[in-house]
């Protein structure tokens, strides 16, 4: 196993240069893994908005029961701030962010509300203010319910209607989801980011490592000396193949180990198996790329430039740094010609996999097979080139 041993000696010697960049890429991967790239929202927190509540609809200097009920409901979701009822002062308060909205209930509002005549509540806010929209939605919610009760509960007076509305709005429903054995643990976006960046790690470490080693073994003078020797070409190639495969398995295993350790709390066996298979297929495709470059490039600088161009262009187009959803259809069409696009797509689908069933697994399977097809295609292309070169070498 002379060639196999030497392959690993060469990898070890080259590993320092690979390791430096590897650390950088792994750091980048972890950084991205822990920063949410998408707008997925997994939790909700009620915000409190400062508002001014100005009421002109009073009876005997008191708020009507409807207005008082609405004010009381709003106070659960907003802080009611007292401001001087003056247009200029309200605008100043809005400008200085003392309040985010000012609500003015016009005179006669309650009366007209129950008589079915519409009378608009005046609201002042900054243009396109999200907080104002939020307050408006609460007002609408309250008034819509009140309108329903007013329409269908003729015998109820204003106080009863307000009481019913308040009662309705105070109710919460607790929903409990019972787990099914086929329902899979949800993985976070962090985890999927990590698996996507695992692709970058595999691409870099395997293409560089395999490419550099193959370049060393493919130096014409080394080939010549090997061909003179009594070790058959098939034996030599088999040992090189074993060397490449063992290196790929090492890189893949290391990547998977890091992933499992980092996300042990979200460990889901079916999803981890699928992520692993996808990563392994992608690793083999990376091997084919490294093999192609290493077999055909002689110069070290050309090799380094080529590897950088291939990795960066593939990762940018393939949707690693920019989510596929944000890319134009034209770029996505181009991206489909890169294996990393299918790798990321399969990862996304594995992430969204809730139930283990053929309906969900078949598309993932096709995507993983597409990644493999790239590898097989590149290997076939490399062997054709090698065959042509070999016959030329022997006849020249």
Partner 1 sequence: MVVKVENLLKKYKNVTAVNNLSLEIKEGEIFGILGPNGSGKTTTINCILSLLKYESGNIELFGEKMKPEAYEIKRKIGAVMQEVAVFDELTVYENIDYFCGLYIKNINEKKDLVEEAMEFVKIKDYRKRYPKELSGGLLRRLNIACGISHKPKLIIFDEPTVGVDPQSRNYILEGIQKLNSSGATIIYTSHYMEEVEQICTRIGIVDKGSIIALGSKEELKNKLEFNKRLIIENSKVSEEEIAEIQKIPFVISAKYDNGKIFISLSKSDINVLTILEYLKDRNIEFGSIQSEVPTLNDVFLKFTGKKLRD
- Where does this chain bind partner 1 (CB under 8 A)? 2, 6, 9-10, 13-14, 216, 219, 221-222, 224-232, 394-396
Q: Comparing C-alpha atoms, which of 258, 283, 270 is closest to residue 199?
A: 283
DSSP β-bridge partners for residue 329? none
H helix and E strand count, the chain: 14, 6
How many other β-carbons are positioned within 10 Å of the β-carbon of residue 309?
Answer: 10
State the nearest-atom distance from the C-beta of 23 to partner 1, in Å.
21
Q: Which is nearer to partner 1, 43 or 395 (CB)?
A: 395
As a whole number of angstroms, the distance between CA 190 and CA 194 comes to 6
Measured CA to CA, the distance from residue 371 to residue 278 in angstroms comes to: 8
Minimal distance in Å, beta carbon 208 to partner 1? 14
Question: Which of 335, 192, 188, 213 lies closest to 266 in space, CA to CA?
Answer: 188
Nearer residue to partner 1 within complex by CB, 11 or 364: 11
Q: Please give the DSSP secondary-structure letter assigned to residue 322.
A: S
Minimum CB separation from partner 1 for residue 365, in Å? 41
**Residue 187 to residue 220: CA distance in whole angstroms:** 50
Q: How far is CA 212 from its chain centroid?
A: 33
The smaller minimum CB distance to partner 1, of residues 381 and 393, is found at 393
**Whose Cβ is closer to partner 1: residue 240's or residue 344's?**
240
Toward partner 1, which CB reaches closer, 8 or 164? 8
Smallest distance, partner 1 to C-beta of residue 203, A: 23
Smaller CB separation from partner 1, 232 or 301: 232
- 208 vs 293: CA distance, rounded Å: 9
State in angstroms the smallest separation of the CB of 250 from partner 1: 18
> Minimum distance between the CB of residue 245 and partner 1, rounded to whole angstroms?
20
Residue 395 CB, nearest approach to partner 1 (Å): 5
Burial pattern 193-232, b for ≥16 Cβ within 10 A else e, equals bbbbbbbbbbbbbbbbbbbbbbbbbbeeeeeeeeeeeeee
Q: What angle in degrees, to the nearest 10, is found between the helix axes of 189-217 and 300-317?
A: 160
Residue 13 or 115: the one with the smaller Cβ distance to partner 1 is 13
């Amino acid at each position: 196993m002379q060639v196999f041993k030497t392959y690993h000696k060469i990898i070890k010697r080259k590993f320092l240069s690979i390791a430096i960049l590897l650390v950088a890429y792994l750091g980048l991967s972890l950084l991205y893994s822990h920063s949410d790239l998408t707008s997925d929202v997994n939790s909700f927190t009620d915000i409190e908005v400062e508002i001014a509540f100005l009421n002109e609809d009073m009876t005997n200097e008191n708020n009507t029961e409807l207005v008082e009920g609405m004010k009381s409901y709003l106070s659960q979701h907003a802080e009611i701030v007292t401001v001087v009822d003056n247009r200029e002062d309200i605008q100043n308060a809005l400008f200085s962010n003392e309040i985010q909205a000012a609500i003015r209930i016009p005179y006669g509002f309650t009366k007209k509300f129950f008589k079915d005549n519409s009378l608009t509540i005046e609201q002042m806010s900054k243009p396109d203010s999200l907080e104002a929209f939020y307050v408006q939605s609460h007002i609408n919610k309250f008034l819509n319910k009140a309108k329903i009760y007013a329409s269908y509960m003729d015998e109820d007076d204003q106080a009863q209607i307000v009481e019913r509305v308040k009662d309705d709005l105070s109710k919460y429903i607790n929903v409990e989801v019972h787990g099914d054995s086929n329902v899979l643990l949800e993985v976070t976006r962090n985890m999927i980011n990590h698996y996507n960046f695992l692709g970058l790690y595999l691409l870099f470490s395997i293409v560089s490592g395999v490419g550099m080693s193959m370049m060393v073994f493919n130096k014409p003078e080394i080939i010549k000396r090997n061909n003179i020797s009594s070790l058959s070409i098939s034996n030599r190639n088999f040992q090189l193949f074993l060397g490449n495969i063992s290196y790929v398995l090492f890189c893949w295993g290391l990547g998977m180990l890091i992933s499992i350790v980092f996300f042990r709390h979200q460990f889901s066996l079916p999803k981890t198996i699928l992520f692993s298979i996808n990563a392994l297929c992608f690793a083999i495709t990376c091997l084919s790329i490294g093999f192609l470059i290493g077999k055909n490039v002689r110069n070290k600088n050309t090799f380094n430039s080529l590897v950088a161009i291939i990795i960066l262009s593939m990762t940018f187009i393939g949707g690693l740094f920019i989510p596929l959803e944000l890319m134009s259809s034209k770029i996505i069409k181009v991206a489909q010609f890169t294996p990393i696009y299918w790798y990321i797509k399969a990862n996304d689908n594995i992430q969204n996999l809730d139930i283990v069933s053929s309906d969900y697994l078949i598309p993932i399977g096709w995507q993983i097979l597409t990644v493999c097809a790239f590898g097989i295609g590149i290997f076939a292309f490399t062997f054709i080139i090698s065959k042509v070169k070999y016959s030329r070498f022997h006849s020249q």
